[in-house]
Amino acid sequence: MHGDKRCWMVTGALPALAGLVPQGHHIELIDENIEEIDFDDLRRFDIIGLTGMIIQDKRMKELLHKLKSMPGVVVVGGPYVSVQPESFAGLCDVRFVGEAEETWPAFINALAEGAPTLELYRQKDRTDMSTVPPARYDLIKSQHYMMASIQFSRGCPFRCEFCDIITVFGRRPRLKTSEQLIRELEGVRRAGFRVCFLVDDNFIGNKVEAKKFLRKLIEWQQQNDYPLQLFTEVSINLADDQELMDLMLEANFLQIFTGVESPRAASLNETLKTQNTRGDGLVDKLRRIRDSGFVITAGFIVGFDNDDAQIFDEQYAFIQEMGIAQAIVGILTPIPSTPLYDRLKAEGRLDFGHPEVAFLPKQMSREELASGHEALMLRLFEPNAFFGRLLHGYKASDSFRKRRAALAATFRRPTLTEAMARRVGGWMMAAKLVRELARHGRLREVGLAYLRSYVGDNLRLGGDAIPFPSFVQLCAIHWHYYNIARQERKTFGIAQPGEFPLAAE
């Protein structure tokens, strides 16, 4: 569907770790999302590094098994090893726990000099982000990705019980300087990307510094004709700072991801996500963010102790009413190292015997939780539900549409050729989508729903209707989630923040 592009996003650790390798070494980055691993070829390397997150547990271990016979040293790092190093003992030569800005180059230098190396590296101090060298985007096979990813800050000031960010990266946000980041964005742009995800845990963890950076970023975007669309993760208190929202929009952040988690206040309080209940509450905060001009994508969780069997209907109604098209619902997961993991362990409720639910829920059986979650995902990504809530949210906010039109007028106007190319691109994407739907036998069910939403609902909005190329892009985004909901695809990401929905074409 995306031509030869096969993955939404560059895995941030790859260019970041390449940037840390001392001068004089040859580096190659291999990403299974876009290419097959040639195991024979790997024999020529002195060091083979592997990264992955908890969801890649099985694959990481399969790969380590295959890599055992390699002549090079096999090392593992990344989010999963960092919270469960013991489960990788004996599977590789070296493990890296947590950040590796100091330990990774130190290890490479030691190995190159024939000095002794350790079996487990754990950095003594947290990384000073203002000293981190730029990510090596010159090594990324950019033609295979939709989106680049770079990092501005690490750490988050909040205390959500299930979150391992604060156990691995801490609660005091540590930031790169604006100059560092602009340099990295230059690299991303040179590599040919038009969209970049700032993969911060919380981009606004330090609002004062975020604003300083945004002012520099706006200058850079203006001077360079807005070369990059940006996307990031923020906590919901973004809604309480209009200046911050305006700066983000002016810097071309048109879509954000936020952890809403639950409409149920008791569940939010239980999990210490009190920033979502504070002040005027979730509904008003989400509305303010939308009214300011952002497309909201959001994460939700089911399975809290305060969740009973009603939670699935409650989540559905809330997501529909708030018009959050890209709503990712997960089952509560006790990640090792988190307070949630420790609490459930102390209560004797950790149990890894179920494929999807790693604990004993309080008010449901594990089967009820898993099947309730599955049914909720199916319901949310039924095409009429998806487009119903999307258009509901879009229609409900005059302010969103006005702001988007105003922003579109500020940003560089496309040339006539670009506008034509966009239209043609829209038709080409539509043709690919039709082929893909037909290949999966979903043309009638899904394709017709797209057509009905476009002709029946969208075009009725007259001058405010979402333009055809953007609508096709939304159909492609829907198709991506539709497959996740049906578990036809095993990997997913947040879909690309497109130009949607600029009322002014």
Binding residues vs ligand SF4 (CB under 6 A): 156, 158, 160, 163, 165-166, 201-202, 235, 259
Closest CA relative to residue 433, chosen from 468, 458, 392: 468
Q: Which of 18, 19, 49, 300 binds ligand B12 (CB under 6 A)?
A: 49
Closest CA relative to residue 193, chosen from 233, 147, 251, 232: 147
Q: Which of 88, 104, 318, 471 binds ligand B12 (CB under 6 A)?
A: 104
Residue 82: both structure tokens together: 């960092």
Q: Which of 19, 78, 303, 497 binds ligand B12 (CB under 6 A)?
A: 78
Minimum distance, C-beta of residue 289 to ligand SF4, in the bound complex (Å)? 15
Select from ligand SF4, ligand B12, none the partner in contact with residue 202, using the beta carbon and a kind-dependent cut-off of 5 to 8 Å: ligand SF4
C-beta closer to ligand B12: residue 149 or 458: 149
* Euclidean distance between CA atoms 412 and 269, whole angstroms: 44
Select from ligand SF4, ligand B12, none the partner in contact with residue 459, using the beta carbon and a kind-dependent cut-off of 5 to 8 Å: none
In the range 404-433, which residues lie near ligand B12 by CB under 6 A?
A: none
Q: Which of 161, 164, 209, 261 binds ligand B12 (CB under 6 A)?
A: 164
Length of the chain: 505
248 and 214 in contact (C-beta within 8 Å)?
A: yes
DSSP SS3 for 195: strand
153 and 173 in contact (C-beta within 8 Å)?
A: yes
* Euclidean distance between CA atoms 147 and 64, whole angstroms: 28
Q: Which of 12, 72, 170, 425 binds ligand B12 (CB under 6 A)?
A: 12
Q: Which of 74, 85, 134, 151 binds ligand B12 (CB under 6 A)?
A: 151
* Cβ-based burial of 114 (10 A; exposed 0-12, middle 13-18, buried ≥19): exposed
C-beta closer to ligand B12: residue 99 or 209: 99
Select from ligand SF4, ligand B12, none the partner in contact with residue 259, using the beta carbon and a kind-dependent cut-off of 5 to 8 Å: ligand SF4
* Euclidean distance between CA atoms 273 and 269, whole angstroms: 6
* Euclidean distance between CA atoms 97 and 341, whole angstroms: 18
51 touches ligand B12 by CB under 6 A: yes
Residues 6+ apart with CB under 8 A from 310: none
Q: Which of 21, 67, 77, 231 binds ligand B12 (CB under 6 A)?
A: 77
Minimum distance, C-beta of residue 53 to ligand B12, in the bound complex (Å)? 4
Residue 83: both structure tokens together: 């919270």
* Euclidean distance between CA atoms 485 and 464, whole angstroms: 30
Query: Residue numbers of the site for ligand B12 (CB under 6 A)?
Result: 9, 11-13, 16-17, 33, 49-51, 53-55, 75-80, 82-83, 96, 99-101, 104, 149, 151, 163-165, 199, 201, 330, 335, 491-494
